[in-house]
């Protein structure tokens, strides 16, 4: 009838096979190996070259933690396959407050994922093309804008173009590790550019040494960021969802550990000396002018040689996978938003599928926050990582603690498989304990280094979500049907608002006639004599059989005379229902809506405040509205992760309609009480 | 009935008496004497100290020009008292294109008025409090934000608080001039701080000398900015409007000339040496670190002494009057917008009185543009003035040329008073010639100094306005009634969309029953079994006598099943009109609208694309909507300048309603053609 109204419903739905799910969900956790070893070693180097001897042990601790967390999430995926992740677990097992703490931590995380990934990506680009060094912040902002633009436009994450860079990254870094270790084995170990630089170690107290090791460990823990992504994306997997998600999680964990260990080992073998303050590197003359090459770049240059094709492949793949990781935040945010909205902690609109306006706002907000943070912190990766890890470990710890509570409850159920539950319980308990300890360590070691900002942001988000929830609860109470609600509106008057006699108005008039109201009149508010004369002329010329009432508005207000008229009628005829017909333009371009309907909207808003009024919008489709049909098929951010793609609806037969008809007589209403009580209450005010 | 619906209509309307009109309209032109003498002398100083001897002659040229322009505008006010100003004159006499050139020049001007006034204001604040010098840009941005916030909140320009600073400025600067000249007369001439500094004059060719004099003249012409303000505000004056406006214009011109001449004279007497590059001043040691004091501050310090009360009074008054001048742009912009909208060159919404949303957008846009320019040019007054004068003189020249055309046409009318017309004609011709020459001079001397940006912005604005105009023309054509338009819709089915059984839905149902449609059903789209069960239970429990149809939506889409249902009915029953009732929440806080109606809006937008559908919005006023009533009385930017304040509407008796009832039989419609032709056309596509 109206062409192709909803092509989006015809989109072939597709769930993700493992070979696509891995790159989509793993770009975030895997990309973190691009910065984790570098930050780990950098902190150690603060104590002097000799402290690098601790590196294997610190790295081992990170790996143990990573294994624990991966195993913990394997349990979580099984117990909560709905994709709510840590938020759902904490909410269901530890209560509303814990859930909201996790939610605010995750919201901060999404911003930081964008920020850290982009900053690290830019670092690696600059390492390959050092002449870009003066434009670090500009480049970072540019990439955030590009990401936001791509997500505003709409692009499907499940396309192959998104999978290839991750595989290239994994493959090329793995190759680099194998070649580097091979060279070492055959006696020609790679030597990093910075191998010759030394660092003046400070005299540290024992406490300071312990603190330094803990700080180094905390920075290394940035390797764990993003592990939770798969737990949030279970619904997107093909059947059997849980098995496939668990399998992918383990593969991802294996790859992450291999790359992390391999890169750390190669960095130690090739003597990469990466310093927080480049000019603390003794022997490096241009420390103030030249950019310090990233650990990834130094290893790649040491193994494959500077300016070789492989060097650039590694750098390009690293930068790309980091940008993809940033992109995941743009996809994950709407997903978390919809979960929160379903629970009533975020605007309900976030759970409305396909409202591009809502998604656009989310994308813009995320992009803006990321740009502000990047500019404020000058895209300095080391500082930004401090902000990142806190949020991650808050959600880890609360999620795992929630799982412990979950298993304890399961254990009490009759007929529980005690053996497997106890195993799961102990894994999650270990996970909770370890991530909890790391959270404490991270908080202590990072707080003064900028992490306090996170502790300011999280409570704000927390309170916002609580506020939204309380608001919805109050409104639900307000609109709840109560015993005093009575009905029985009477009277049926209709008004068609006439500005100029144009097709949209005539259509509204036509529909009003078809609705056969008790009484019908056309109302023209006269603010311009010429226009009014023309309306009268048209009315007579076109033989329109609806009475036209012209109301003079000496003060040029359009809505007040109509309001006055409606009220006068109600004063005369009792509390009748008045339907006011207004044409509404439907347009195809966003900018057209800047040019239409504003006057109508304003009048509508005022008329809606009048008692007994209902507004009938009669749509008029301008030619440009044809464009609306083609546009809907653009994918929305997070669509692939939701795992419930819009599937083709069979056009016939329709799902059977259940019709319940109750034909009992209406409740007796007292003669005077023709308005619902809730409305009458207002009257008395 | 609903309390106090429209208190804004009760606002006591008041037109401006002259003693209030002067400060409101004159803060812009008078404040420009705060920077014009300084910029004039500064350019001369580029040639060396000896060039200051030219200053009286250059200043004289500026005064002559100012007199001419004031007299020219006296004519314009008389001929076009409607407040359209240069735009209206150019549009009516020189055609659409010239009008739009003026309009784009004026739009650029509003931004530059904010920018230049704020930059100069900050300059004078820093001159009084030099420790603020490092925060020049931050201060400027801060003031723009304050101005935007004040105008977003709404404040009446006609309040006395706006008038006082201008009078203090005029009074204190006048006092300073009298005291300074008195001191000179009695032999104790003031000596400026910078009197001792000398400048190394360059060896200039004769052409370069002429160019320098012209540049100095062009910079001095910044004294003329804002003179047009009164011509745009005639409707705001008390009766007799034209006489009062002309009188105010002449007073304003007299004050401006007095202050300009006085300040220039005192600057020459006290040997103020203000340099474009402070370090070209020989003998000033701290040129790189200390801020250069503004000419106003140097004179005030020379006449009254440094750190005296009068010094601070002068600086404070200067800064305040400059900020007021910036504020005028925020008030003038909506006014120009409404004139442009009335002519169809700007979105019609700009002409809708009282749409706060529209004003907010305008205020934000203006503020944002000003901030960007201030940041990009680091609030450097000298550079910014280059951008300012171009736009001003474009509108001056075209406005005056339009007036020449106007008088030439008047001259040809029978019975014209030739004498007075020829006098007016010669004044405007002189004005047009002089401002035209200045425009050429300014363009030549300023183009490479940044004025080219104006020549980029103006065409963009020009094309935007042309585009808007063409768009409206096309749409008007599209919706024009043509002979093929036929009517005669039939059928009258109504659907009430039911989500949860809550009061708003029950009210919608009640209204739908009252409208007595041919057939009525309630439709619930089931996406959640629990919810559906509850709806059914409520339906039975409450004995609702409307049949309830439940449509399963396995893919969780809310609108598609309804669309399908409507189409199926139309396939069965022919092209009936379907009214779909939806409750609409009315809320009191802006943020509440983020939490409501989104799902409904989306469904509505989709349903409106279906043929034969009209949407009946049944408002539900949440308790917070009470707030809507108190809020309307906040004044809008530009309200005082419009001169047509919202006046109290007599509540009774109403203006008499003219009722025209045509009872001729409806035009015979062919049996099948029940839809307007325009709608049917779409069907065929």
A511, A584, A664 member nearest B545 (Cβ): A664
From A97's Cα to the closest Cα of chain B, the distance in A is 21
Express as a percent the part of chain A with pLDDT over 70: 89
Note whether A444 contacts B: Cβ–Cβ < 8 A. no
Note whether A684 contacts B: Cβ–Cβ < 8 A. no
- The C-alpha atoms of residue B525 and residue A446 are separated, in whole angstroms, by 51
What is the per-residue pLDDT for A3? 38
Are A679 and A611 in contact, with CB atoms under 8 Å apart? yes
Residue A560: closest CA among chain B residues belongs to which residue?
B6
pLDDT surpasses 60 at B170 = yes
From B680's Cα to the closest Cα of chain A, the distance in A is 10
Note whether A361 contacts B: Cβ–Cβ < 8 A. no
pLDDT in tens, A177-206: 999 999 999 988 888 888 888 887 777 888
pLDDT surpasses 60 at B673 = no
From A111's Cα to the closest Cα of chain B, the distance in A is 22
Note whether A563 contacts B: Cβ–Cβ < 8 A. yes
B543, B608, B619 member nearest A667 (Cβ): B543
CB contact under 8 A, B548 and A506: no
pLDDT surpasses 80 at A410 = yes
What is the per-residue pLDDT for A355? 65
Complex ipTM > 0.90? no
pLDDT in tens, B119-169: 999 999 999 998 888 888 889 999 999 999 888 877 777 777 788 999 999
| Structure tokens belonging to residue A297 | 């770049």
Cβ count near A661 (within 10 Å): 11
Alpha carbon B543 to its chain's center? 57
- Read off the pLDDT band of A467 (50, 70, 90): very high
Mean pLDDT of B327-336: 86
| Residues in chain B within 8 Å Cβ distance of A609 | 2, 5, 586, 619, 621, 625, 628
pLDDT in tens, A319-362: 999 999 998 888 888 888 888 888 889 888 777 666 666 777 78
Task: Report helix angle B559-573 to B598-607, nearest 10.
Answer: 30
From B570's Cα to the closest Cα of chain A, the distance in A is 10
Note whether A602 contacts B: Cβ–Cβ < 8 A. yes
CB contact under 8 A, B659 and A548: yes
Note whether A430 contacts B: Cβ–Cβ < 8 A. no
What is the per-residue pLDDT for B193? 85
- C-alpha distances (whole Å) from B655 to each of A562, A568, B6 are 12, 12, 17
Mean pLDDT of B632-656: 56
What is the per-residue pLDDT for B676? 38
B595, B620, B628 member nearest A347 (Cβ): B595
| Residues in chain A within 8 Å Cβ distance of B561 | 654-655
Note whether B348 contacts A: Cβ–Cβ < 8 A. yes
pLDDT surpasses 90 at A117 = yes
What is the per-residue pLDDT for B633? 61
From A261's Cα to the closest Cα of chain B, the distance in A is 45
What is the per-residue pLDDT for A215? 87
From B583's Cα to the closest Cα of chain A, the distance in A is 9
| Residues in chain B within 8 Å Cβ distance of A511 | 489, 577, 614
The DSSP 8-state label assigned to residue A645 in this structure reads P
Note whether B498 contacts A: Cβ–Cβ < 8 A. no
Note whether B510 contacts A: Cβ–Cβ < 8 A. yes
- The C-alpha atoms of residue B685 and residue B679 are separated, in whole angstroms, by 11
pLDDT surpasses 90 at A264 = yes
CB contact under 8 A, A615 and B619: yes
From B593's Cα to the closest Cα of chain A, the distance in A is 10
Helices marked H in B343-380: 356-376
What is the per-residue pLDDT for B664? 34
Helix/strand/coil (H/E/C) assignment for every residue in B84-149: CHHHHHHHHHHCHHHHHHHHHHHHHHHHHHHHHHHHHHHHHHHHHCHHHHHHHHHHHHHHHHHHHH
The DSSP 8-state label assigned to residue A6 in this structure reads -
What is the per-residue pLDDT for A636? 73
| Residues in chain B within 8 Å Cβ distance of A614 | 511, 581, 616-619
From A471's Cα to the closest Cα of chain B, the distance in A is 9
- The C-alpha atoms of residue A395 and residue A406 are separated, in whole angstroms, by 16
pLDDT in tens, B467-507: 999 999 999 888 888 877 677 777 889 999 998 888 899 99
pLDDT surpasses 90 at B263 = yes
From B250's Cα to the closest Cα of chain A, the distance in A is 32
Cβ count near B670 (within 10 Å): 8
CB contact under 8 A, B543 and A666: yes
pLDDT surpasses 90 at B58 = yes
Residue B682: closest CA among chain A residues belongs to which residue?
A2
CB contact under 8 A, B663 and A619: no
- Read off the pLDDT band of B602 (50, 70, 90): confident
CB contact under 8 A, B619 and A623: no
Long-range residue pairs from B454-459, CB within 8 A, at least 24 positions apart, any chain: B454/B108, B454/B387, B454/B390, B454/B391, B455/B390, B457/B104, B457/B108, B458/B101, B458/B104, B458/B105, B458/B108, B458/B391, B458/B394, B459/B104
What is the per-residue pLDDT for B297? 93
Encode B424-448: b = buried (16+ Cβ within 10 Å), e = exposed. Answer: bbebbbbbbebbbebbebbbebbee
Suggest the residue from A608, A612, A621 to mutate for an interface test with chain B (most B CBs closer than 10 A). Answer: A608
What is the per-residue pLDDT for B634? 66
| Residues in chain B within 8 Å Cβ distance of A631 | none
Burial of B179 from C-beta contacts in 10 A (0-12 / 13-18 / 19+): middle
Suggest the residue from B352, B510, B538 to mutate for an interface test with chain A (most A CBs closer than 10 A). Answer: B510
pLDDT in tens, A7-47: 333 333 467 788 888 888 888 889 999 999 999 999 999 88
| Residues in chain B within 8 Å Cβ distance of A536 | 660
What is the per-residue pLDDT for A627? 75
- The C-alpha atoms of residue A437 and residue A401 are separated, in whole angstroms, by 12
pLDDT in tens, B32-57: 999 999 999 999 988 888 888 899 99
CB contact under 8 A, A560 and B9: yes
Mean pLDDT of B587-602: 82
CB contact under 8 A, A616 and B579: yes
Let me know how long chain B is.
685
- Read off the pLDDT band of B104 (50, 70, 90): very high
pLDDT in tens, A500-550: 888 899 999 999 988 888 899 999 998 888 889 999 998 888 888 889 999
What is the per-residue pLDDT for A634? 67
- Read off the pLDDT band of B453 (50, 70, 90): confident
A516, A551, A663 member nearest B545 (Cβ): A663
What is the per-residue pLDDT for B14? 60
pLDDT in tens, B187-224: 888 988 888 888 877 778 888 888 889 889 988 988 98
Note whether B307 contacts A: Cβ–Cβ < 8 A. no
Residue A598: closest CA among chain B residues belongs to which residue?
B349
What is the per-residue pLDDT for B2? 37
List of domains in chain B: 20-167+220-242+324-472 (no CATH), 490-649+662-684 (3.40.50)
What is the per-residue pLDDT for A683? 37
**Binding-face residues of A in 458-497 toward B, CB within 8 A:** 468, 471-472, 475-476, 478-481, 485, 487-492
What is the per-residue pLDDT for B595? 83
Express as a percent the part of chain B with pLDDT over 90: 28
- Read off the pLDDT band of A667 (50, 70, 90): very low
- The C-alpha atoms of residue A30 and residue A171 are separated, in whole angstroms, by 12
CB contact under 8 A, A502 and B479: yes
Biggest CA-to-CA distance, chain B: 104
- The C-alpha atoms of residue B483 and residue B476 are separated, in whole angstroms, by 16
């Amino acid at each position: 009838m109206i062409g192709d109204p909803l092509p989006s419903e015809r989109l072939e739905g597709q769930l993700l096979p493992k070979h696509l799910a891995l790159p989509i969900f793993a770009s975030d956790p895997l990309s973190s190996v691009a910065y984790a070893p570098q930050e780990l070693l950098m902190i150690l180097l603060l104590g002097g070259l000799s402290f690098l001897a601790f590196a294997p042990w610190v790295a081992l601790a990170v790996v143990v933690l990573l294994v624990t967390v991966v195993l913990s999430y394997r349990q979580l995926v099984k117990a909560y396959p709905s994709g709510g992740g840590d938020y759902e677990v904490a909410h269901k097992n530890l209560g509303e407050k814990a859930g909201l703490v996790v939610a605010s931590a995750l919201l901060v995380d999404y911003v930081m994922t964008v920020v850290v990934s982009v900053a690290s990506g830019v670092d690696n680009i600059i390492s390959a093309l050092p002449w870009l060094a003066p434009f670090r912040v500009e480049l970072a902002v540019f990439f955030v804008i590009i990401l936001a633009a791509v997500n505003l436009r709409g692009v499907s994450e499940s396309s192959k173009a998104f999978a290839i860079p991750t595989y290239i990254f994994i493959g090329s870094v793995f190759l680099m590790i194998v070649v580097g270790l091979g060279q070492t084995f055959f006696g020609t170990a790679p030597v990093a550019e910075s191998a010759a630089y030394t660092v003046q170690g400070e005299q540290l107290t024992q406490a300071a040494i312990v603190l330094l090791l803990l700080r180094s460990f905390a920075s290394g823990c940035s390797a764990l960021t993003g592990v939770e992504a798969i737990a949030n994306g279970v619904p997107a997997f093909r059947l059997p969802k849980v098995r496939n998600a668990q399998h992918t999680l383990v593969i991802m964990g294996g790859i992450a550990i291999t790359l992390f260990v391999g890169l750390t080992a190669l960095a130690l073998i090739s003597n990469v000396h990466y310093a927080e303050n480049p000019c603390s590197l003794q022997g490096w003359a241009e420390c103030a002018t030249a950019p310090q090459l990233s650990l990834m770049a130094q290893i790649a240059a040491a193994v494959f040689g500077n300016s070789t094709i492989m060097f650039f492949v590694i750098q390009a793949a690293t930068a790309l996978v980091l940008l993809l990781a940033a992109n995941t935040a743009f996809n994950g945010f709407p997903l978390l938003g919809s979960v929160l909205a379903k629970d009533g902690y975020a605007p309900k609109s976030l759970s409305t599928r396909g409202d591009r306006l809502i998604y656009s706002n989310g994308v813009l907000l995320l992009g803006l926050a990321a740009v502000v943070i990047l500019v404020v912190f000058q895209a300095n990766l080391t500082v930004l990582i401090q902000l990142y890890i806190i949020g991650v470990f808050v959600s880890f710890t609360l999620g795992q603690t929630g799982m412990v509570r979950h298993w304890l409850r399961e254990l009490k159920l009759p007929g529980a498989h005690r053996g497997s539950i106890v195993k799961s319980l102990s894994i999650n308990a270990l996970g909770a304990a370890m991530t909890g300890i790391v959270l404490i360590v991270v908080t202590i070691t990072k707080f003064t280094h900028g992490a306090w900002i996170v502790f300011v942001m999280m409570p704000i988000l927390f309170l916002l979500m609580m506020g939204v929830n309380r608001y919805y609860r109050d409104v639900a109470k307000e609109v709840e049907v109560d015993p005093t609600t009575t009905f029985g509106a009477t009277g049926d008057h209709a008004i068609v608002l006439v500005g100029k006699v144009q097709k949209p108005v005539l259509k509204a008039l036509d529909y009003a006639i078809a609705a056969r109201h008790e009484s019908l009149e056309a109302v023209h508010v006269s603010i311009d004599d010429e226009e009014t004369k023309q309306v009268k002329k048209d009315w007579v010329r076109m033989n329109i059989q609806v009475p036209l009432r012209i109301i003079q508005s000496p003060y040029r207000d359009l809505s007040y005379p109509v309001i006055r008229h409606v009220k006068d009628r109600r004063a005369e005829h009792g509390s009748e229902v008045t339907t006011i017909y207004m044409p509404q333009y439907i347009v195809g371009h966003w900018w057209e809506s800047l040019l239409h309907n504003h006057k109508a909207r304003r009048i509508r808003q005022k008329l809606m405040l009048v008692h007994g009024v209902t507004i009938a919008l009669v749509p008029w489709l301008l030619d440009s509205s044809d464009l609306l049909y083609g546009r809907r098929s653009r994918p929305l951010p997070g669509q692939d992760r939701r795992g419930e793609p819009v599937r083709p609806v069979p056009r016939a037969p329709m799902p059977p309609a259940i019709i319940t008809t109750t034909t009992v007589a209406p409740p007796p209403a007292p003669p005077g009480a023709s308005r619902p009580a809730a409305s009458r209450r207002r009257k008395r005010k």
